[in-house]
Structure 1
Amino acid sequence: MEKIDPTFIREVTRRSGTIPTRCYNCSACSSGCQFAHIMDRKPHEMIRLVQLGLKNEALAASGPWICVGCNTCSMECPNGIDIPAVMDTMREMAIAKGEIPEKDIYNFHKEILGSIKRHGRTHKLEIMMRFKLVSRDFFSDMDLGVRMLSRRKLHILPSRIKALGDVRNLFKKVG
């Protein structure tokens, strides 16, 4: 039996800016989620873990890492809970705790942010190549990369923005 952390709901509420206690577990959010079928914990289940103070179980779940933040769940929620904000909070707390259940997704996110920091926008070919190096999965979808290159969906060289310094300053402010 996992230990209940009574401060967990307050911390999630503060950090997410939304009120998970409003949820009465109707599961409308999960019904609207396009990715719920591949999550170990669906959106309504994640909110329930927060309500119950089951911090360790919530932070170990893959659901927040699979969430793409499309807000469909929030639009379905009859109580106006910002579920993607809760999912973001779960990811942040898992990173701070050093428990990242979906390492590939985390590494992919890091590569995307790194590309934005370097170029001011994403450079898809670089992101894919760096991710492949980190994950050590070099050939599993090489055919897709070749097709994307042939259709000019991937550019060899990155494009840059004029205000690159402004973008880099945003990263400095965040830490």
Structure 2
Amino acid sequence: MGEINLSQVLDENRSFVDRVIAESGQDIRQCYQCAKCSGGCPGSYAMDYLPSQIIRMLMLGMREEVLKSRTIWVCMGCNTCTTRCIRNIEVARVMDTLRQEAIKAGYVEEGKYVMSFNDSFLYTIRTFGRLFEPGMAMMNNIRTGNFMKDMQFGLPLMLKGKAKPFPHRIKGRREIKNIFEKTKREGK
């Protein structure tokens, strides 16, 4: 990571830290680094920094390091950290806020697969009114350049009736589209 002047970094990024606290509704300044959140995290093996380290880096105003980290994208939002936190900090909510901040700041390299999956998932919901797994998987594979990924599972699933080749369209698709449009208009 190199040498960092913490007082200078904190002064420069204080507004960022305050915004994360306000948007997440979590006062991370209450954290006293017991690391119980990290000890119970099922995704910690794939993270570059543990959840407690992300919180500490955030408290120190290390904006770029936090937003560029793989950890915020690996977090599954399972809330194990929240359950274990003795200060009642919802770490998963902080991670959600940090993902949004990373997107706004253009730090999406570590999260491109997560964002692709999310976009593919929401597209099928918006289009068909419900999840269409084969379509979502194909769309996600095309977006990520993994064209043949999981192909060996498709035909056996279809032959067993576990996956349908065509989507089932539900009634009320227009209402679902309206929900998506309203959410987009309100900027959420």
Q: Assess same fold via TM > 0.5.
A: yes
Corresponding residue for residue 142 of structure 2: 133
Greater radius of gyration (CA) = 2
Deviations 1:8-43 (A, max 9, x none): 221001111111111111111111111111011221
SS at structure 2 position matched to 1:113: helix
Please report how far the alpha carbon of residue 148 of structure 1 lies from its aligned counterpart in structure 2 after TM superposition: 3.5
Output the amino acid matched with 1:16: S
Corresponding residue for residue 36 of structure 2: 28
Preserved contact between residue 36 and residue 85 of structure 2 (Cα < 8 Å): yes
Aligned length: 175
Corresponding residue for residue 173 of structure 1: 182
TM-score (norm 1): 0.91
Preserved contact between residue 120 and residue 164 of structure 1 (Cα < 8 Å): yes
Question: Which shifted more, 141-150 or 44-53?
Answer: 141-150
TM-score (norm 2): 0.85
Q: Is 2:48 the partner of 1:40? A: yes
In the alignment, the residues of structure 2 paired with residue 120 and residue 76 of structure 1 have an alpha-carbon distance, to the nearest angstrom, of: 36
Preserved contact between residue 65 and residue 106 of structure 1 (Cα < 8 Å): no
SS at structure 2 position matched to 1:6: helix
Question: Which shifted more, 158-167 or 144-153?
Answer: 144-153
Gaps of 5+ in 1: none
Please provide the CA RMSD for this pair. 1.7
Gaps of 5+ in 2: none
In the alignment, the residues of structure 2 paired with residue 111 and residue 13 of structure 1 have an alpha-carbon distance, to the nearest angstrom, of: 30
Deviations 1:58-81 (A, max 9, x none): 110111111111111100111111
Deviations 1:61-105 (A, max 9, x none): 111111111111100111111111111111111111111022112
Preserved contact between residue 9 and residue 53 of structure 1 (Cα < 8 Å): yes
Preserved contact between residue 74 and residue 80 of structure 1 (Cα < 8 Å): yes
Among 89, 98, 101, the residue aligned to 2:106: 98
Among 125, 130, 133, the residue aligned to 1:121: 130
Task: Evaluate the alpha carbon distance shift between residue 46 and residue 146 of structure 1 in structure 2; reply closer, same or farther with a 3 A threshold.
Answer: farther
Task: Evaluate the alpha carbon distance shift between residue 80 and residue 161 of structure 1 in structure 2; reply closer, same or farther with a 3 A threshold.
Answer: farther
In the alignment, the residues of structure 2 paired with residue 37 and residue 150 of structure 1 have an alpha-carbon distance, to the nearest angstrom, of: 36
Among 34, 55, 72, the residue aligned to 2:80: 72
Deviations 1:36-59 (A, max 9, x none): 110112211111121111111111
In the alignment, the residues of structure 2 paired with residue 168 and residue 22 of structure 1 have an alpha-carbon distance, to the nearest angstrom, of: 41
Corresponding residue for residue 163 of structure 2: 154
Identity %: 32
Task: Evaluate the alpha carbon distance shift between residue 116 and residue 24 of structure 1 in structure 2; reply closer, same or farther with a 3 A threshold.
Answer: same
